[in-house]
Amino acid sequence: MTNSRMTDPEVLECRFPVRLERYEIRSGSGGAGRWHGGDGGVRELRFLEPMKLSLLANGWRYPAFGAQGGQPGAPGECQVIRGDGTVVSLAHADSAELKAGDRVIIKTPGAGDSVVIPACNDDKPLFVDAVNQTVCVIYSS
């Protein structure tokens, strides 16, 4: 399974001894700003048999940056919740031995926000002022 594929729960559960318990949008993980960055996702899997989990992910140490004044998105993260309630955080490149009943929660990173900073003068053709919510169009001859 990869984060870039939206694997159908039926396919995932048919191919691996897991149950998808949660699959939702990670609200608030996109960067703040005029145009809110896209939110990541949350997947929670319960393992039905012992397995080894290998994780290789991007956007965890260095989240998606915001452009031109926008805020960065939230970094990704992964936690293993053991059957006894113990929580283990995994790094972006990590692995874990899982037992039946263990759960894994994967939170994918959010996207950074993008804002255009205003500059209304003769050498700039079009700019949006995110603070004052105005548009400045300059035509050149």
- Mark the ranges of the chain whose per-residue pLDDT is less than 50: 117, 119-122, 124-131, 135-141
**pLDDT value for 3:** 52
Give me the DSSP letters along 120-135: -STT-SEEEETTTTEE
Tell me which DSSP letter residue 67 carries: B
Distance CA 23, CA 50 (A): 22
- Per the CB < 8 A criterion, the answer to whether 97 and 52 are in contact is yes
Could you give the 3-state DSSP secondary structure of residue 10?
A: helix
Q: How confident is the model over 51-63, as pLDDT tens digits?
A: 999 998 887 888 8
Regarding pTM above 0.85, the answer is: no
In sequence order, what are the residues at sequence separation of 6 or more whose Cβ sits closer than 8 angstroms to the Cβ of residue 4?
A: none
pLDDT of residue 98: 97
pLDDT of residue 71: 86
3-state DSSP of 15-43: HCCEEEEEEEEECCCCCCCCCCCCCEEEE
